[in-house]
Amino acid sequence: MSDLSQLPSVDQLLLQPTVASHLDEFDRVHVTTTVREVLDELRTAVREGTVKAQRDTLTAEATNRLLARLDRHGSGSLRAVINATGVILHTGLGRAPLAPEAKQALQEAAEDYCNLELDLSTGGRGRRLDHVDQALRRLTGAEATAVVNNNAAAVLLLLHTLAAGREVVISRGQLVEIGGSFRMPDIIAASGARIREVGTTNRTHLRDYEEAIDADTALLLVVHPSNYRVAGFTTEPDASALIELGRRAGVPVAFDLGGGTLRGLEQWDLPHEPIVTNSLRAGYDVVTFSGDKILGGPQSGILAGRAELIERMTASPMMRALRCDKLTLAALSATLNLYRLEPRALQQALPTLRMMTESTEIVRARAEALLAQLAPATQEKLGALVTPTTSQAGSGALPVEELDSFGLACGEGHAQELARRLRLDDQQAVVGRIAQERLVLDLRTVRDQDLRALAAALNRAALAEFWPSTDR
């Protein structure tokens, strides 16, 4: 009898009492299709040796997976995940977790009608950007602002409005790629502008810009190296000199910050990052930055600068394609309102900032608390122990900085399988990172309220009798 013959049939699963009770709740075709999906997965698992090929084990596993899948189908494929990677702004996990105030504002906007584009004082048409414009102008010192759905969109709108059909001058050392499909040359091309590279990878001088400017020049673009550093024999022109050059030539100068910082990070003992306000004071005509990185809000791209230029962008037909909906604006508005707080209160209010600045003593205590919540059998089977590690800001923020941290190291010899089981846990998905043949769960990015669920997921993973061959 082959191993695959131990798999239950579709009809056998449908006759399981716990499954049969769902036939009244869900469409039978939907249940049957889901059963076949689960059995296909288990068939692959048996072939790969990740599930023991015994009738009772496979029937129980199929039933559990099926019930969990039916429950999850009601809420879609997006699931809450415990981020134990140590990467605070993890793009794959949604970047900045929102503050409670932003979560509440988002929920209210989602559940109710709102005055998105209605001026309640006059009863006439309003501007959706007005809900965040005043706060942004106050926090940045800009004459005007606009918000679109991410920073790539902000750069695209800037280039399309100011430089379509003409040249954008940019240093060769700033032609960055920031993950996925965001490559600056591609964004410039997509905007309809033409790129004019100047200087070299490591050295660009003011004279390089001077020699490149002609009647076809529409914009000088500076890109902050937010996800890399070039060190050693390097030169970039002073910002004030470049801005003055733009003034003399009648060419706008824009600064793409990538991640936007509204407060100086040094006050929290973090490395320096350019502040939006200071960039505008220096004389840049437009500054673009993200709302969902260090700022700590929802995914969004923000443009701040001279009113005449921002108004041209908001009047562009492209603005309608790139604009944000009520949910993003509600969450962003609530996040911006937190910046009225004094530094210590803001540090606690913004999850991103709190994780970046939390002491290693607090993180270590959280790791020890997690270890204490594991069953003794789990501790022994997984070889779990508290270990020092390092975290990162992530998403291009503070690219060369590492934050001292503590985590729980476990699963030596079968780290890949343990990581898989935690990711696919039916009750609580968990994502960690593998280092030195162990799964490390970094506690800097885990909230106190998630410790019990994380411990339970580890206990469930360790309960399984069958483990495949070691990773080594």
Q: Tens of pLDDT along 357-375? A: 999 999 999 999 999 999 9
Does 339 have pLDDT greater than 80? yes
Same domain, 340 and 370: no
In a domain, 433, yes or no: yes
Please say which residue of 311, 329, 347 terminates a domain. Answer: 347
Q: Is residue 471 part of a domain?
A: no
- Residue 60's pLDDT is 85
Mean pLDDT of 181-203: 89
Query: Nearest 5°: CA angle at 254, between 250 and 256?
Result: 170
Q: Is the pLDDT at 468 greater than 70, yes or no? A: no
Whether pLDDT at 1 is above 50: no
Tens digits of per-residue pLDDT, 267-321?
Answer: 999 988 899 999 999 999 999 999 999 999 999 999 999 999 999 999 999 999 9
Nearest Cα neighbor of 341 from 353, 324, 327 is 353
Which residues have C-beta within 8 Å of that of residue 161, sequence separation ≥ 6? 309, 312, 313, 316, 318
Residues 307 and 426 in one domain: no
Residue 41 domain boundaries: 3-73
Task: Using CA atoms of 460, 461, 463, 466 in order, give the dihedral in degrees to the nearest 10.
Answer: 150
- Residue at a domain's end among 329, 347, 365: 347
Q: What pLDDT does 236 receive?
A: 86
What pLDDT, on the 0 to 100 scale, is given for residue 99? 97
pLDDT score of 397? 63
| Structural domain contains residue 253 | yes
Taking a C-beta distance cutoff of 8 angstroms, is the pair 288, 161 a contact? no
Is there a domain that residue 470 lies in?
Answer: no
My answer on whether 89 and 105 are in the same domain is: no
CB neighbours of 338 closer than 8 A, spacing ≥ 6?
99, 101, 296, 346, 349, 350
- State which amino acid sits at residue 351: P
Distance CA 79, CA 243 (A): 46
HSE toward the beta carbon, residue 130, CA cutoff 13 A: 10
More confident residue, 230 or 168: 168
Find the mean pLDDT for residues 8-35: 83
Domain boundary among 330, 347, 364: 347
182 and 249 both lie in a single domain: yes
Q: Are residues 333 and 244 in the same domain?
A: yes
- Is residue 105 in some structural domain? yes
**53 and 137 together in one domain:** no
Are residues 320 and 239 both part of a single domain?
Answer: yes
Q: The domain spanning residue 447 has which CATH number?
A: 3.90.1150.180
- Flag whether pLDDT at 72 surpasses 60: yes
Establish if 138 belongs to a structural domain.
yes
Is the pLDDT reported for residue 34 higher than 70? yes
Is the same domain home to 217 and 280?
yes
Residues 333 and 370 in one domain: no
CATH of the domain at 292: 3.40.640.10
Task: Give the Cα separation of 196 and 208 in Å (integer).
Answer: 11
- Let me know whether 306 and 359 are in one domain: no
**Mean pLDDT on 153-175:** 95
pLDDT, position 188? 92
Contact 162, 285 (CB under 8 A): no
Using one digit for the tens of pLDDT, what is the confidence trace for 422-467? 999 988 999 999 998 999 999 999 999 999 999 999 999 998 765 6
267 is a domain residue = yes
Question: Is residue 211 domain-shared with residue 172, that is, in the same domain?
Answer: yes
Residues 6+ apart with CB under 8 A from 449: none
- The contacts of residue 456 (CB under 8 Å, 6+ apart) are 427, 428
What is the reported pTM?
A: 0.84
What is the Cα–Cα distance from 194 to 221, expressed in whole angstroms?
12
Read off the pLDDT of each residue in 194-223 and give the average, rounded to a whole number.
94
Q: Do 244 and 197 lie in a common domain?
A: yes
**How much is the mean pLDDT over the chain?**
90
Domain presence at residue 468 = no
Q: Which of 3, 293, 262, 264 is nearest to 142 (CA)?
A: 262
Phi then psi for 87, rounded to 5 degrees?
A: -95, 110
The total domain count for the chain is: 3
Using the predicted structure, report yes or no on whether residue 78 has a pLDDT greater than 90.
no
